[in-house]
Amino acid sequence: MKKVLFVFGVLPLLFLVACVPSQPEQDEMMDDEMMMEEEEKMVEDGMMMDEEGMMEEEQAGSPRVIRVTAENWMFTPAAITVKKGERVQISLEGLTGLHGYSVPDLGINQVVEAGQTVTFDLPTDEPGIYNVRCSVPCGEGHRDMTGQIIIEE
Protein backbone atom coordinates (compact mmCIF):
# COMPACT_ATOMS: atom_id res chain seq x y z
CA MET A 1 0.00 0.00 0.00
CA LYS A 2 2.85 2.38 0.83
CA LYS A 3 4.45 1.69 -2.55
CA VAL A 4 1.18 2.50 -4.35
CA LEU A 5 0.80 5.75 -2.40
CA PHE A 6 4.39 6.63 -3.19
CA VAL A 7 4.04 5.86 -6.92
CA PHE A 8 0.70 7.66 -7.38
CA GLY A 9 1.09 10.45 -4.83
CA VAL A 10 4.66 11.52 -4.31
CA LEU A 11 6.21 10.82 -7.72
CA PRO A 12 3.70 12.95 -9.71
CA LEU A 13 4.21 15.76 -7.21
CA LEU A 14 7.99 15.59 -7.64
CA PHE A 15 7.54 15.54 -11.42
CA LEU A 16 5.39 18.71 -11.33
CA VAL A 17 7.86 20.55 -9.10
CA ALA A 18 10.72 19.63 -11.42
CA CYS A 19 8.84 21.01 -14.47
CA VAL A 20 8.19 24.48 -13.02
CA PRO A 21 10.59 27.13 -14.40
CA SER A 22 13.02 28.22 -11.73
CA GLN A 23 13.40 31.95 -12.63
CA PRO A 24 10.10 33.44 -13.83
CA GLU A 25 10.39 36.50 -11.60
CA GLN A 26 13.88 37.36 -12.80
CA ASP A 27 12.82 37.05 -16.47
CA GLU A 28 9.82 39.31 -15.85
CA MET A 29 12.04 41.84 -14.09
CA MET A 30 14.45 41.83 -17.02
CA ASP A 31 11.55 42.38 -19.45
CA ASP A 32 10.29 45.32 -17.36
CA GLU A 33 13.78 46.83 -17.16
CA MET A 34 14.24 46.50 -20.93
CA MET A 35 10.86 48.17 -21.57
CA MET A 36 11.72 51.05 -19.25
CA GLU A 37 15.09 51.55 -20.95
CA GLU A 38 13.39 51.54 -24.36
CA GLU A 39 10.80 54.10 -23.21
CA GLU A 40 13.57 56.33 -21.82
CA LYS A 41 15.42 56.11 -25.15
CA MET A 42 12.24 57.04 -27.04
CA VAL A 43 11.75 60.10 -24.84
CA GLU A 44 15.37 61.10 -25.49
CA ASP A 45 14.80 60.61 -29.24
CA GLY A 46 11.72 62.87 -29.20
CA MET A 47 9.04 60.17 -29.09
CA MET A 48 5.99 60.58 -26.86
CA MET A 49 3.09 58.38 -25.75
CA ASP A 50 -0.40 59.73 -26.43
CA GLU A 51 -3.59 58.99 -24.43
CA GLU A 52 -4.33 55.79 -26.33
CA GLY A 53 -0.82 54.45 -25.81
CA MET A 54 0.22 55.11 -29.41
CA MET A 55 3.71 56.43 -30.05
CA GLU A 56 3.94 59.71 -31.88
CA GLU A 57 7.04 61.63 -32.81
CA GLU A 58 7.37 65.14 -31.45
CA GLN A 59 9.03 67.28 -34.07
CA ALA A 60 10.45 70.70 -33.41
CA GLY A 61 8.25 73.34 -35.00
CA SER A 62 5.36 70.99 -35.71
CA PRO A 63 1.90 72.10 -34.57
CA ARG A 64 0.24 70.72 -31.47
CA VAL A 65 -2.70 68.53 -32.52
CA ILE A 66 -5.79 68.65 -30.31
CA ARG A 67 -8.28 65.82 -30.79
CA VAL A 68 -11.92 66.89 -30.54
CA THR A 69 -14.84 64.49 -30.90
CA ALA A 70 -18.32 65.45 -32.08
CA GLU A 71 -21.32 63.38 -31.05
CA ASN A 72 -24.97 63.95 -30.23
CA TRP A 73 -24.98 66.68 -28.63
CA MET A 74 -21.55 67.56 -27.41
CA PHE A 75 -17.98 68.35 -28.32
CA THR A 76 -15.26 66.69 -26.23
CA PRO A 77 -13.38 68.54 -24.93
CA ALA A 78 -15.87 71.39 -24.82
CA ALA A 79 -13.16 73.95 -24.01
CA ILE A 80 -9.71 74.26 -25.57
CA THR A 81 -7.01 76.53 -24.14
CA VAL A 82 -4.00 77.56 -26.23
CA LYS A 83 -1.34 80.28 -26.15
CA LYS A 84 -1.28 83.26 -28.50
CA GLY A 85 0.92 82.48 -31.49
CA GLU A 86 1.06 78.74 -30.75
CA ARG A 87 0.80 76.49 -33.80
CA VAL A 88 -2.27 74.33 -33.26
CA GLN A 89 -4.30 71.96 -35.40
CA ILE A 90 -7.68 70.54 -34.43
CA SER A 91 -8.40 66.97 -35.42
CA LEU A 92 -12.21 66.79 -35.40
CA GLU A 93 -13.56 63.24 -35.26
CA GLY A 94 -17.24 62.50 -35.88
CA LEU A 95 -18.58 59.80 -33.58
CA THR A 96 -22.32 60.05 -34.30
CA GLY A 97 -24.47 61.94 -36.79
CA LEU A 98 -23.49 64.92 -38.91
CA HIS A 99 -22.10 67.97 -37.09
CA GLY A 100 -20.42 71.29 -37.78
CA TYR A 101 -17.62 72.92 -35.78
CA SER A 102 -18.15 76.63 -36.23
CA VAL A 103 -16.17 79.50 -34.73
CA PRO A 104 -17.26 82.53 -36.80
CA ASP A 105 -14.85 84.96 -35.11
CA LEU A 106 -11.91 82.76 -36.15
CA GLY A 107 -13.24 81.95 -39.63
CA ILE A 108 -13.75 78.25 -38.85
CA ASN A 109 -16.68 76.19 -40.15
CA GLN A 110 -15.87 72.50 -40.57
CA VAL A 111 -18.40 69.70 -41.12
CA VAL A 112 -17.77 66.11 -40.00
CA GLU A 113 -19.88 62.97 -40.19
CA ALA A 114 -19.71 59.79 -38.13
CA GLY A 115 -16.56 57.83 -38.86
CA GLN A 116 -14.81 60.79 -40.49
CA THR A 117 -11.93 62.92 -39.20
CA VAL A 118 -11.18 66.44 -40.41
CA THR A 119 -7.97 68.26 -39.45
CA PHE A 120 -7.61 72.03 -39.71
CA ASP A 121 -5.40 74.85 -38.44
CA LEU A 122 -6.55 76.92 -35.47
CA PRO A 123 -5.62 80.61 -35.85
CA THR A 124 -4.13 81.84 -32.56
CA ASP A 125 -3.25 85.43 -33.51
CA GLU A 126 -5.71 87.22 -31.23
CA PRO A 127 -6.16 86.39 -27.53
CA GLY A 128 -9.73 86.01 -26.34
CA ILE A 129 -12.59 83.63 -25.65
CA TYR A 130 -14.27 82.34 -28.79
CA ASN A 131 -17.60 80.50 -28.87
CA VAL A 132 -17.92 77.19 -30.70
CA ARG A 133 -21.29 76.00 -32.02
CA CYS A 134 -22.54 73.12 -34.09
CA SER A 135 -23.43 74.62 -37.47
CA VAL A 136 -25.47 71.63 -38.70
CA PRO A 137 -28.98 71.13 -37.24
CA CYS A 138 -28.52 67.74 -35.58
CA GLY A 139 -31.63 67.18 -33.50
CA GLU A 140 -33.16 68.06 -30.17
CA GLY A 141 -29.89 68.85 -28.37
CA HIS A 142 -28.44 70.97 -31.19
CA ARG A 143 -28.72 74.23 -29.20
CA ASP A 144 -26.65 72.74 -26.39
CA MET A 145 -23.82 71.63 -28.67
CA THR A 146 -21.41 74.41 -27.79
CA GLY A 147 -17.86 74.94 -26.63
CA GLN A 148 -15.10 77.51 -26.24
CA ILE A 149 -11.66 78.19 -27.56
CA ILE A 150 -9.56 80.24 -25.15
CA ILE A 151 -6.47 81.92 -26.55
CA GLU A 152 -4.26 83.23 -23.73
CA GLU A 153 -1.48 85.84 -23.90
pTM assigned to the model = 0.60
Of 61, 148, 63, 74, whose CA–CA distance to 106 is shortest? 148
Query: Residue 138: its pLDDT value, please?
Result: 86
- Please give the class, per CATH, of domain 63-152: mainly beta
**pLDDT confidence tier of residue 61, bands split at 50, 70 and 90:** confident
Name the residue ranges covered by the structural domains of the chain: 63-152
* Structure confidence at residue 53 as a pLDDT band (50, 70, 90): very low
pLDDT digits 0-9 by tens, 90-138: 999 999 999 999 999 999 999 999 999 999 999 999 999 999 999 999 8
Q: Is the separation of the CB atoms in 150 and 80 below 8 Å? A: yes
Strands 128-133 and 146-152: antiparallel
Strands 55-57 vs 47-49: parallel, antiparallel or unpaired: antiparallel
